[in-house]
Amino acid sequence: MTSIESVAAHTSLRFPTGFVWGAATSAFQIEGSTEFGGRSPSIWDVFCRQEGRIADGSDGSEACDHYNRYRDDVALIKELGMDAYRFSISWPRVIPNGVGAINEEGLGFYDRLVDELLAAGIRPLPTLYHWDLPQALEDRNGWVNREVAEAFADYASAVVCRLADRVDTWTTLNEPFVVANHGYVTGEHAPGRTLMADGMAASHHLNLAHGLAGERIRSLAPDARLATVLNFTPMRPATESEVDRLEAYHRNNLENRWYSDPIAGLGYPEDTADFYKWDCSEVRDGDMEVISQPIDLLGVNFYSRSTVSADKSYKAPIGTSRNAMGWEIHPPSLGRLLRELHERYSFPSFMITENGAPMPDTVRKAGRIEDNDRLNYIREHLVQVHGAIADGVPVEGYLVWSLFDNFEWAWGFGPRFGIVEIDYDTMARIPKKSAEWFSEAARVNGFDYGHLADPAIYWPKKTIEDEDDD
Ligand code: IFM
């Protein structure tokens, strides 16, 4: 990366040459056509059919109909001037039984998508697993079963063999914490299971899956870069009480370090394993070495921070700025997080692989949604990224979540994260004001920003330790 000018005196932010501007989606959230092209049911198809699981009773069978409209969608991404597009590959489309025969029609879809992107000058950034486990593998105990990690490596090999000549960066998993926690502990996500011990076993097998697939990627595509995508939610205790601090400490270890620490060779935070009563019996000799092979890029998904209390009835104070799903909006936490990740780990590079917000999207002018709130959210977070880069954190790009309004898992289609509106009646794609702003920012590799007279907005490094968190 080229050097970046000192930011404090400027009102015009410019990112380093080559900074990547793009958008992200995932297969189940946008593709639809879940019963076509030889795809088998995933855990999400089954979960959606269970009474009460999805807030609006919806499912992913149509979603944004991207499976049929991918050519137009790629044209739109190009029109928006994006450098890269992050999407996920659906395991049940490619290997319907989870193991064994490859479904040519399914793999062919991603082959064509990658070609279409490249022809449009857009860099494809595929993620191999974004939550849609083939149900056939859940029937064998899902991620609680070690064999699923091995099956994932075989699936990864099949995809990499086919696309390696056109993909420069392979991402193994998206947000394994959410997979293990929401899927196996709280039950709010598919497969809807609720046992802490299962969640802990799943977490190790997800780490192992990353490692085993990583080995395959290294041998099949030696020139490609290996990446994984983790979500980070900085934690702060609600009060200074010992119990709140302890709760925040272990939650932080479980949500924010459980995947990155082992990859960085630091192992699992042991006291937190004890706290959650995990005896580590799933960890076999050699696993931690497989998991800790070097990665080239850590994808950072960031949305919010959490205020943690040991008191389950704790309610955050009214007045905090929140998105339409109630998540606190706190951009400085992103700048701080990036500096902390860089200090803690020696990963060569970071990319913001998801950041964005569901907003009410009620104001419309001349047929277009005037989403100033989303635009501000994105801009304020980009300011933080810029500040972190200025402090030496190697952040190579920013991908907004999401390109489209889409299926927001247990929330259904209610929350709208897109910078492009989807009219679900007509499937029309209508760029919102934030999309136009983002497109211009991508074009000039930055944006004008009015408040830089206040350098504190950058969360300068020297104040990390002693800042007051408000
Ligand atoms: O929609 C999800 C995405 O699939 C994973 N990261 C968080 C997003 C918003 O909840």
Q: Using one digit for the tens of pLDDT, what is the confidence trace for 326-335?
A: 999 999 999 9
Look at residue 459 in the predicted model and tell me its pLDDT.
Answer: 36
CA 86 – ligand 1 centroid, Å: 13
Q: Is any atom of ligand 1 closer than 6 Å to the C-beta of 458? A: no
pLDDT for residue 24 is more than 60 = yes
Q: Which domain holds residue 59?
A: 4-466
- Binning pLDDT at 50, 70 and 90, where does residue 1 land? very low
Sign of the four-CA dihedral 92, 22, 163, 289: negative
- Which residue numbers are catalytic? 175, 354
The mean pLDDT of 35-57, rounded to a whole number, is 98
Look at residue 316 in the predicted model and tell me its pLDDT.
Answer: 80
- Binning pLDDT at 50, 70 and 90, where does residue 318 land? confident
DSSP state of 392: T
Query: Which amino acid appears at position 48 of this protein?
Result: C
Q: Is any atom of ligand 1 closer than 6 Å to the C-beta of 408? A: yes
Look at residue 109 in the predicted model and tell me its pLDDT.
Answer: 98
Q: Is any atom of ligand 1 closer than 6 Å to the C-beta of 26? A: yes
Structure-token match 């009620």, residue found? 362
Distance CA 268, CA 259 (A): 8
Q: Given ligand 1 and candidates 86, 127, 175, which is best to mutate, with the most ligand atoms within 8 Å of its CB?
A: 175
Look at residue 450 in the predicted model and tell me its pLDDT.
Answer: 67
Our count of domains for the chain comes to: 1
Among candidate residues 386, 420, 409, 320, the one with its CA nearest the CA of residue 63: 409
Look at residue 217 in the predicted model and tell me its pLDDT.
Answer: 98
Q: Is any atom of ligand 1 closer than 6 Å to the C-beta of 247? A: no
Q: Using one digit for the tens of pLDDT, what is the confidence trace for 105-147?
A: 999 999 999 999 999 999 999 999 999 999 999 999 999 999 9
Burial class (CB in 10 A: 0-12, 13-18, 19+), 449: middle
Distance CA 161, CA 165 (A): 8
Q: Please give the mean pLDDT across all residues of the chain.
A: 93
pLDDT for residue 4 is more than 80 = no
Residue ranges of alpha helices (H) inside 236-286 are 242-252, 260-263, 270-275
Q: Is any atom of ligand 1 closer than 6 Å to the C-beta of 401? A: yes
How many Cα atoms within 13 Å fall on the side-chain side of residue 344? 16
CA 229 – ligand 1 centroid, Å: 12
Which SS3 state, helix, strand or coil, does residue 257 take?
helix
Distance CA 263, CA 172 (A): 12
For residue 13, what is the domain's CATH number? 3.20.20.80
CA 305 – ligand 1 centroid, Å: 15
